[in-house]
C-alpha cells in the first residue's frame, strides 16, 4: 500500500521542532514506517538551494527568484525523496510544503496566486499532502521564541507585518480546506500541544489504516 503524506506548517517560532519529535515518537510506537524530511531541502541539491534562498545576504533577493528557488527545491525533493518513499509504503512527514509557498511568497510577499497555481500544477500535480497540521501561535509569541535563537534566516528577519500576514495566510488556507488542514493551538503548554497532535494522528491512523 502507498504511504501517506503529512505536512507540518506554521509561522516562525510555532514549535515545529517539538511537534516533529512528538510525531516521530508516535509513529515509532505504532510501528508505522516513515521518513522525516523538510522544505526547502530534503535532498543534497535541495539543501544547497535552501542555503541559497534562506541565508541572509546583502543583495536584495527578487521575489520571483525566491519563489522559483522554492519550487526548484520542491521538484527535486518530490521526485528523489518524497515519491519514492510513498511508493515504498512509508509515511512522509514533511516540515513545510506547498502551503508555505502560498503563504510566504503569495500572501506575505504579495505574489500572484494564479502563477502559484500554475507552478503548483506543474511541479506538484496530484502529489499533495493527505493531511496537514498547522501549528498556530500569535505572532508576538513566535517572535519572542525566535529572537533567542543564534541563527536567524533571511525570512525570520522579516517585519512583524510580514509575519502577521504569514499567520493570516495559514489560517485562511486552513479554513478553505478544513478536511485536509487541522489547526493545532500551539500557544498552550508543550504537553497540551502534544496531546492535540497525538489525537489527530490517532484519528488519521484510524481513518487510513482502520487502526491496524
Ligand atoms: P524553517 O524550516 O526553519 O521554518 O525555515 C524555512 C523558511 O523557508 C521559513 O521562513 C519559511 C520559508 N519557506 C518559504 O518561504 N516558502 C516555501 O515554499 C517553503 C517550503 C519555506
Print the domain residue range for 164.
Answer: 5-209
3 state SS of 193:
helix
Q: What's the total number of domains in the chain?
A: 1
For residue 43, give the DSSP letter. S
- Give pLDDT tens digits for 22-62: 999 999 999 999 999 999 999 999 999 999 999 999 999 99
Q: Which residues of 115-125 are buried (b: 16+ CB within 10 A; e: fewer)?
A: ebeebbeebbe
Q: What's the maximum distance between 2 C-alpha atoms anywhere in the chain?
A: 53
Contact in structure between 94 and 34 (CB atoms under 8 Å): no
Asked if residue 7 has its Cβ within 6 Å of ligand 1, the reply is no
- Give pLDDT tens digits for 151-186: 899 999 999 999 999 999 999 999 999 999 999 999
Whether residue 1 is predicted with pLDDT greater than 70 in this model: the reply is: yes
Asked if residue 124 has its Cβ within 6 Å of ligand 1, the reply is no
- Rounded to an integer, what is the distance from CA 107 to the centroid of its chain? 15
Beta carbons within 8 Å of 76's beta carbon, 6+ residues apart: 43, 45, 46, 49
Asked if residue 40 has its Cβ within 6 Å of ligand 1, the reply is yes
Name the residue of 100, 108, 170 to mutate for ligand 1: max ligand atoms within 8 A of Cβ: 100
CATH of the domain at 176: 3.40.50.300
Protein residue closest via CA to atom 15 of ligand 1: 104
- Give pLDDT tens digits for 60-104: 999 999 999 999 999 999 999 999 999 999 999 999 999 999 999
Q: Please report the pLDDT score of residue 211 as a whole number.
A: 59
pTM higher than the cut 0.95: yes
Which ligand 1 atom sits closest to the C-alpha of 12?
4
Give the separation between CA 139 and CA 136, rounded to whole angstroms.
9
Nearest by Cα to 99 from 204, 187, 6, 33: 6
Amino acid at each position: 500500500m502507498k504511504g501517506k503524506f503529512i505536512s507540518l506548517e506554521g509561522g516562525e517560532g510555532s514549535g515545529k521542532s517539538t511537534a516533529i519529535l512528538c510525531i516521530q515518537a508516535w509513529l515509532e510506537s505504532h510501528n508505522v514506517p516513515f521518513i522525516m524530511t523538510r522544505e526547502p531541502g530534503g535532498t543534497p541539491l535541495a539543501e544547497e538551494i535552501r542555503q541559497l534562498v534562506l541565508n541572509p545576504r546583502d543583495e536584495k533577493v527578487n521575489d520571483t527568484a525566491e519563489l522559483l528557488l522554492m519550487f526548484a527545491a520542491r521538484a527535486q525533493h518530490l521526485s528523489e525523496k518524497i515519491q519514492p518513499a510513498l511508493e515504498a509504503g512509508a509515511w512522509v512527514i514533511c516540515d513545510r510544503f506547498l502551503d508555505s509557498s502560498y503563504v510566504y511568497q503569495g500572501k506575505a510577499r504579495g505574489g500572484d496566486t494564479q502563477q502559484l497555481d500554475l507552478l503548483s500544477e506543474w511541479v506538484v500535480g496530484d502529489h499533495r499532502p493527505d493531511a496537514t497540521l498547522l501549528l498556530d501561535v500569535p505572532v508576538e509569541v513566535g517572535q519572542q521564541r525566535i529572537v533567542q535563537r543564534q541563527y536567524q534566516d533571511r525570512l525570520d528577519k522579516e517585519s512583524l507585518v510580514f509575519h502577521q500576514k504569514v499567520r493570516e495566510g495559514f489560517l485562511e488556507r486552513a479554513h478553505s480546506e478544513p478536511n485536509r488542514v487541522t489547526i493545532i493551538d500551539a500557544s498552550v503548554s508543550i504537553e497540551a500541544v502534544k496531546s492535540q497532535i497525538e489525537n489527530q494522528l490517532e484519528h488519521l491512523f484510524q481513518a487510513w489504516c482502520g487502526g491496524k
